Amino acid sequence: MSNFQLGLIIAGGLVLVVVIAYNTWTTQRNAPKRASPREGDAAQEPAVRQEPAFDGAGLASAPAAAVTEPHLEGHAVDAGDALQLPVPPAERRGGLDPLIDVIAPIVAEQPVSGEAALAAMPTTRRAGSKPFAIEGFNEAQQHWETPQPGRRYQQFQAGVQLANRLGALNEIEYSEFVMKAQAFADAINATPDFPEMLHEVARARELDQFASDHDAQLTFMLRARQAAWSPGYVQQNAARSGFVAGAIPGRMVLPASGPGLPPLLTLGYDAQAAMSDDPEQSAVREVMLSLDVAQVHRGEQPFARLREAADALGEAMDGVLCDQNGTPLPAMTMEPIAADLELLYDKLDSRELSAGSVLARRLFS
């Protein structure tokens, strides 16, 4: 074998080694980032936790109102100061309310036991797409409540919600409400007094228009700059920002300060990746951070918390903040959003539908 042939063999071997090394480096560089060993197990197998539920019926309904998208201008909120602001105490107002419900008084000829009232209740708690409820007046405590066993009632009221994110109460739904309430009244030997249908339907349309004009759901995308993330890596970093596992695969929530309240923020990513047989080999290139404005009290400073979480996750995971379409957002994009949100909060307050209140959570559901 000549020196020339030996040189070619050596050169070929060196080229082969370089190619293998480059391919190995590229594969490692583009592989999904995984959770660190210390926290990986906990991140990969998060405890299933029930998400805080909204008050009122029909909360699983899909939103139909237009989603408010981020504007491309700027804001700087000191999240540390925002988190120090006091959160108002939990609101006690609940049950049927003439502000957002059609209410029909029902007076029985004689006291009715709670057991009999419960037995006469309709099998469903909806009239069309609207929540429906019946309450009895507790004479001893002087308040309306869902009928309870062991108590007696003579005054009842039936109600149906005027509007939600599926639209305004219509004539067909009002008629179904009347049928359900009348059947209940007949069963307990009582007389109902229904409001005039056209007036209530017109009131429903006005409330629905107000709700549509003041409904805001903000969603931002955090996209990987280079290497993708594994679900465990996303969970581990989100947990450091206070997020906990949601009830749905690929969903995490930032809990509110009080029990039983809706989450402040939600973080979502590919559910199929979260449910795969080997999640650590699944690639997640984007996560969505969302805020349902009307569901969270302004005192919680949810938008400041969203910005704080987005900044922390972006820095830790090497991600870039984008709008819903994946367009990167410059740092100056948040100021107008924060200003618009303050105006929105003020308008909801003026209508006695403050963000995060029981009535707002029911209306914007």
193-226 pLDDT per residue, tens:
999 999 999 999 999 999 999 999 999 999 999 9
Q: For residue 274, what pLDDT is reported? A: 86
| Selected residue with higher pLDDT from 250 and 81 | 250
Q: For residue 352, what pLDDT is reported? A: 96
* Mean pLDDT, rounded, of the chain: 84
Q: How far is it, in rounded angstroms, from Cα 248 to Cα 83?
A: 28
Looking at the predicted structure, is the pLDDT value of residue 333 above 60? yes
Tokens of 146: 């869902």
- Tell me, what amino acid is at 88? P
Tokens of 14: 């060196």
C-beta contacts of 20-27 below 8 A and 24+ residues apart = none
CB count within 10 Å of CB 79 equals: 17
Q: For residue 276, what pLDDT is reported? A: 83
Of the pLDDT bands very low, low, confident and very high (cuts 50, 70, 90), residue 279 is confident
Nearest 5°: phi and psi at 222?
A: -110, 115
167-200 pLDDT per residue, tens:
999 999 999 999 999 999 999 999 999 999 999 9
- Tell me, what amino acid is at 23? N
Assess whether the region 42-91+215-363 and the region 101-211 belong to the same CATH fold. Answer: yes
CB count within 10 Å of CB 53 equals: 13
Ranges of each domain in the chain:
42-91+215-363, 101-211
Cα–Cα distances in angstroms (integers) from residue 51 to residues 125, 131, 171, 262, 347, in the given order? 22, 21, 35, 8, 28
Q: How far is it, in rounded angstroms, from Cα 330 to Cα 323?
A: 10
355 phi-psi bin (left φ>0, alpha ψ -120 to 50, beta other): beta
Domain 101-211: CATH class, spelled out:
alpha beta
Topology of domain 42-91+215-363 in CATH is Cell Division Protein Zipa; Chain: A, (3.30.1400)
Q: How far is it, in rounded angstroms, from Cα 265 to Cα 337?
A: 16
Tokens of 246: 């949601």
Q: What is the mean pLDDT of residues 248-264?
A: 94
Q: What is the mean pLDDT of residues 284-300?
A: 96
319 phi-psi bin (left φ>0, alpha ψ -120 to 50, beta other): beta
Q: What is the mean pLDDT of residues 11-24?
A: 63
SS3 of residue 206 by DSSP: helix
Looking at the predicted structure, is the pLDDT value of residue 50 above 50? no
Looking at the predicted structure, is the pLDDT value of residue 85 above 90? no
Of the pLDDT bands very low, low, confident and very high (cuts 50, 70, 90), residue 58 is very low
Say which DSSP state 242 is in.
T
Minimum mean pLDDT range among 155-159, 258-262, 316-320, 331-335: 331-335
* Torsion of the alpha carbons at 189, 190, 195 and 201, rounded to the nearest 10: -40
Looking at the predicted structure, is the pLDDT value of residue 255 above 60? yes
Of the pLDDT bands very low, low, confident and very high (cuts 50, 70, 90), residue 280 is confident
Q: How far is it, in rounded angstroms, from Cα 44 to Cα 283?
A: 14
Looking at the predicted structure, is the pLDDT value of residue 336 above 70? yes
SS3 of residue 323 by DSSP: coil
How many angstroms separate the first and last alpha carbons of the chain? 82
